[in-house]
Chain A
Amino acid sequence: MEHFMAYVNLGAALFLLLSMAMMLGRLLIGPTLYDRLLAVNSFGTKTVLFLCVFCFVIGRPDGVDIALLYALMNFIATIAVLKFFRYRALDISLENAHSTQNDRAAE
């Protein structure tokens, strides 16, 4: 039974690996920057899930703590990238709309 559960977990880890590969594909072909950003965020989430599953595969559940720290790090990194998006203009189309409004208000 012990071994059976380990193999089930290993299968789950393999499926998570597959979904990571799919996220990688979206990241590579993603037409807009937002697609890529979401792909990276989702990739980080998959990594966290993979760590959680893998800790049970090798029979050391204390690794879940590390997965929690990964989740925090992923969140902070995404927030930082989004802040760059908003304030330093990575994609112009949205920002132009805002800036023309502001300029008109100023004039």
Chain B
Amino acid sequence: MPSTILLDIGFMAMLVVVAFSIIRLRSLFAIVMLQGVYSLICAAWFVSLDAVDVAFTEAAVGAGVSTVLMLAAMLLADRDSKPVPMSRQFGPLLVVILAGLAMFYALGDMPAYGDAHSAANSYVGMDYMAKTAEEIHIPNVVTAVLASYRGYDTFGETVVIFSAGLGVLLLLGLNGNAGKWRAQPNGVRISKASAPAARKRPMPKDAPQPTQKPTPKPAAKPKATRKRVTKKTGEKS
């Protein structure tokens, strides 16, 4: 089997390029698309590192769902982000450099890639590998651990995600209300008027109806109140 280190290096380089261009670009649509591409590269790289299940989650959540969510969020805000002045970029840069150095410092404690004596390969993990096939007859050990050994844990996670989605749906409204919401902090509309006229329903030919409707209402209301008043006064007298 040939070494795949060239592929790993290529994926790493592409990840760096995408990350820097996400920071430098100003068009939010391009940034959303780049985030989807970042997830796809991550997924391919995870497969190359033999972590297929992680890769699949990354592709489904990162490239599929979160791209659409980011697009929906972008439609509520502006299309372009304002450039940040240079003086305000040094603090985040310092934080990122420190975090990166901490990662490199922690790298020394990691076991070598594929080490047979690493913590993951020596204690309980070997028990699972040895007994899963006899105990619950599922060939894939990861699936067996997730769905059988830790079944209650997985069930709890599913309930949490379900209730979170339900809460968001209740907040946005289920009766066709979800797409029409606009962000209005302090009464100022921050989004551009982005809904095109294709969404608008064409008005019927007898357009003046809505202007006519309000006029009979004030006329009808005083009549009703007057009647009630007269009735009440009649009862009183």
The chain A residues found within 8 Å of chain B, CB to CB, are 3, 6-7, 10, 13-14, 17, 20-21, 24, 27-28, 30, 33, 36-37, 39-40, 43-44, 47, 50-51, 54, 57-59, 63, 66, 69-70, 73-74, 76-77, 80-81, 84, 86-90, 95, 98-100, 102-103, 105-106
Contact = CB atoms under 8 A, between A and B. Distances in A.
A43 B11 contact: no
A31 to B, nearest CB: 11
Question: Top 6 closest A-B pairs, CB basis?
Answer: A99-B197, A95-B196, A89-B196, A17-B10, A106-B202, A80-B68
Interface SS of chain B: helix, strand, loop or mixed?
A: helix
Contacts of B81: none
Interface residues of B, number: 48
Given A84-B72, A98-B196, A36 B63 contact: no
A100 B198 CA distance: 10
Interface stretch (B35-43, B82-90, B92-100, B222-230): B35-43
Interface SS of chain A: helix, strand, loop or mixed?
A: helix
B231 to A, nearest CB: 47
Interface in B51-98: 52, 55-56, 59-60, 63-64, 67-68, 71-72, 75, 79
A20 B199 CA distance: 36
Interface string B193-210: 011111110110000000
A27 B34 contact: yes
A21 B11 CA distance: 9
Contact of A87 (B18, B64, B196): B196
A79 to B, nearest CB: 10
A11 to B, nearest CB: 9
Given A27-B33, A28-B34, A87-B196, 17 more contacts: A3-B2, A13-B4, A17-B7, A20-B41, A21-B10, A33-B29, A39-B33, A44-B40, A57-B2, A66-B47, A73-B63, A76-B64, A81-B67, A84-B68, A88-B194, A90-B75, A98-B197
Contacts of A51: 44, 47
B64 A73 contact: yes
B146 interface: no
A5 B7 CA distance: 17
A90 to B, nearest CB: 6
Contacts of B198: 86-87, 95, 98-99, 102
5 contacts: A63-B47, A66-B55, A88-B195, A89-B196, A95-B197
Contacts of B44: 47, 50-51, 54
A103 B196 CA distance: 11
B194 A89 contact: yes
A8 B11 CA distance: 19
Contacts of A36: 29-30, 33
B21 interface: yes
B14 A24 contact: yes
A49 to B, nearest CB: 10
